[in-house]
């Protein structure tokens, strides 16, 4: 498999601290300005390094942005892939939803995403790169969790990818649009927790495997009483 452009670097970075400063500066600029208006010169000035230093770490602005997206998606996928600490599927999905929404609705990643549409519409290959680096990877990891739960008999799912889309939509609701239109600010931890809980519970009502109800045997077989019913 070919490496992403963000993975192609000429040798080991000379200064990890400067690299971190460049990424921090770029995140701030990408979150506050349209993608097309952010320049490598502005990133260098914000990071207090030379433009040459920025280019020694990142080939171009697209690679710099892609690195930010990859780093964030790596953190999210790491949380998605963490061993189950017990408590069942419901608790795990709530924890995953809380982590997911903390990044999507409660951090600068949300505002960064809203600066991109114009640039992505004009450049399909760039759109493919950024989607694959971030949302595509995270959705695939979530779909894998759902597929594994279906194999264990916990969920009844015909298409794990679409079920992952359903779950993300239930978690997010209309918040991304409200933030994009400036109608509300980033979500608080309390709001994120409520959304993760409600979205998970609605998802499980739709997809959780139906279990037979337990019933009391109130009559003998001779009187023709019906057996246990299923939901």
pLDDT at position 152 is 93
Condensed to tens digits (0 to 9), the pLDDT of residues 68-107 reads 888 888 877 777 776 666 668 899 899 889 988 888 887 7
Helix, strand, coil shares of the chain as percentages rounded to 5?
65, 0, 30
pTM for this model (two decimals):
0.70
Condensed to tens digits (0 to 9), the pLDDT of residues 4-17 reads 444 444 455 468 99
pLDDT at position 214 is 56
More confident residue, 215 or 29: 29
- Class level of CATH domain 14-58: mainly alpha
Domain regions of the chain by residue span? 14-58, 60-207
pLDDT at position 2 is 44
Cα–Cα dist 173/178, whole Å: 10
Residue 4 is classified by DSSP as P
Q: Where are the beta strands (DSSP E) in the chain?
A: none
pLDDT at position 181 is 78
Where does residue 183 rank: exposed (0-12), middle (13-18), buried (19+ CB within 10 A)?
A: exposed
Tokens of 6: 């963000």
pLDDT at position 171 is 95
Condensed to tens digits (0 to 9), the pLDDT of residues 169-225 reads 999 999 988 887 788 888 999 999 999 999 999 999 999 998 765 544 444 444 555
pLDDT at position 122 is 64
Dihedral angle sign, alpha carbons of residues 31, 34, 35, 37: negative
**CATH fold group of domain 60-207:** Tetracycline Repressor; domain 2 (1.10.357)
What is the helix (H) or strand (E) element at residue 93, kind and residue range? helix 88-104
pLDDT at position 68 is 84
Nearest CA among 167, 147, 169, 164 for reference residue 156: 147
Condensed to tens digits (0 to 9), the pLDDT of residues 106-117 reads 776 666 666 665
Number of H helices, E strands in the chain: 12, 0
């Amino acid at each position: 498999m070919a490496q992403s452009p963000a993975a192609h670097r000429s040798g080991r970075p000379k200064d990890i601290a400067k690299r971190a400063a460049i990424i921090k500066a770029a995140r701030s600029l990408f979150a506050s300005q349209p993608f097309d208006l952010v320049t490598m010169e502005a990133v260098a000035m914000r990071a207090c390094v030379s433009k040459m230093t920025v280019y020694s770490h990142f080939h171009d602005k697209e690679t710099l942005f892609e690195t930010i997206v990859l780093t964030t998606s790596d953190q999210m996928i790491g949380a998605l892939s963490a061993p189950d600490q017990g408590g069942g599927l419901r608790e795990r999905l709530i924890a995953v939803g809380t982590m997911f929404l903390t990044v999507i609705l409660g951090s600068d990643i949300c505002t960064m995403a809203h600066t991109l549409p114009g640039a992505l519409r004009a450049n399909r290959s760039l759109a493919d790169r950024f989607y694959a680096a971030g949302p595509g990877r995270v959705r695939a990891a979530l779909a894998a969790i759902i597929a594994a739960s279906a194999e264990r008999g916990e969920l009844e799912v015909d298409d794990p990818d679409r079920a992952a889309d359903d779950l993300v939509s239930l978690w997010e609701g209309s918040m991304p649009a409200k933030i994009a239109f400036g109608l509300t600010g980033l979500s608080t931890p309390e709001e994120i927790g409520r959304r993760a809980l409600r979205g998970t519970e609605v998802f499980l009502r739709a997809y959780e495997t139906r279990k037979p109800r337990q019933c009391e045997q109130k009559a003998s077989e001779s009187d023709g009483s019906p057996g246990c019913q299923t939901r």
